[in-house]
Amino acid sequence: MRILIIEDEEALRELLEYEFSRQDVTVVALDNANDALMAVEDCPPDLILLDLMLPGLKGLQFLDILRRGGSDLPVVIISARNAETDIINALERGADDYVTKPFSFNFLEAKIKAVLRRGGEVKTGARIAAGGVSVDLEAHKSFAEGELLSLTQKEFELLTLFMRKPGRAFTRNQLLNIIWGYDTSLVSRTVDVHVASLRKKLGDKGRYIQTVPKIGYLWEV
């Protein structure tokens, strides 16, 4: 699972990153909402944690832009503003839930799980399919020629990313950033290992993952 955190308070951002990393959640943490707009466009997360008082674009402005663009990505507000009017306003503008600061990680986690459960009920049939390969995003399952694939979490995320952006070449560093959530060229071999394993599991469909010399990989059916 991928969570995008938009929070300008460094200590809280780092704490959340740390706690989520222990839960096998991939975190992208940003200190402003302007960068977040691009991050969402580039690779939509499963859920967004959004602070309200931010430098530059404010949390609610970000939320407005997101919803106007037709995105129904789950958004949970994390804010020190605890007035009832603030909470109601955020919910009416399209936030899925609102957690006031300070909060415990366990409380936040329970809220996130509840939001994701709700989302799962309404968004049935979120499915990507091409060339005999399909990914069921809700059931978190993938198939090749109708056969269930047994992919690891990272392989599943790789496949989903590739299939969402057919024909787009990803560099190893981009894949590391998006799937693993960090940036270091030292471990770009990690990407190669996972791609090789994913290709193997896809059988003859593995050929859809093409190597782009000196760049990385792309998916094309």
Shortest distance in whole angstroms from residue 53 CB to Ca ion: 4
CB-wise, 14 or 183, nearer to Ca ion?
14
Q: Are 88 and 116 in contact (CB under 8 A)?
A: no
Shortest distance in whole angstroms from residue 175 CB to Ca ion: 31
> How much of the chain is helix, strand and coil, in % rounded to 5?
45, 20, 30
Site for Ca ion in 36-95 (CB under 5 A): 51, 53
Q: Is 151 helix (H, G, I), strand (E, B) or coil?
A: coil
Nearest in space to 199 (alpha carbons), one of 172, 170, 168, 162: 162
The angle that helices 33-42 and 59-68 make with each other, rounded to 10 degrees, is: 30
Site for Ca ion in 182-221 (CB under 5 A): none
User: In the structure encoding, which two tokens stand for residue 12, read together?
Assistant: 């809280």
CB-wise, 4 or 176, nearer to Ca ion?
4
Q: d(Cα 9, Cα 195) in Å, to the nearest integer?
A: 36
CB-wise, 44 or 55, nearer to Ca ion?
55
Q: Which residue has the tokens 């190669």?
A: 192
Residue with the shortest CB distance to Ca ion: 53
Q: d(Cα 16, Cα 13) in Å, to the nearest integer?
A: 5
Question: Could you tell me which stretch among 4-12, 87-95, 131-139, 178-186 binds Ca ion (CB under 5 A)?
Answer: 4-12
Per the DSSP assignment, residues forming a β-bridge with 198 are none
CB-wise, 51 or 97, nearer to Ca ion?
51
Rg of the chain over all Cα atoms, to the nearest angstrom: 18
Shortest distance in whole angstroms from residue 117 CB to Ca ion: 28
Shortest distance in whole angstroms from residue 13 CB to Ca ion: 10
Question: Could you tell me which stretch among 8-16, 127-135, 151-159, 165-173 binds Ca ion (CB under 5 A)?
Answer: 8-16
CB-wise, 52 or 159, nearer to Ca ion?
52
Q: How many residues bind Ca ion (CB under 5 A)?
A: 3
Q: Is 152 helix (H, G, I), strand (E, B) or coil?
A: coil
User: In the structure encoding, which two tokens stand for residue 137, read together?
Assistant: 């995003």
CB-wise, 31 or 46, nearer to Ca ion?
31
Shortest distance in whole angstroms from residue 198 CB to Ca ion: 39
If binding is defined by CB under 5 A, does position 8 make contact with Ca ion? yes
Shortest distance in whole angstroms from residue 27 CB to Ca ion: 18
Judged by the rule CB under 5 A, the positions of this chain that interact with Ca ion are 8, 51, 53
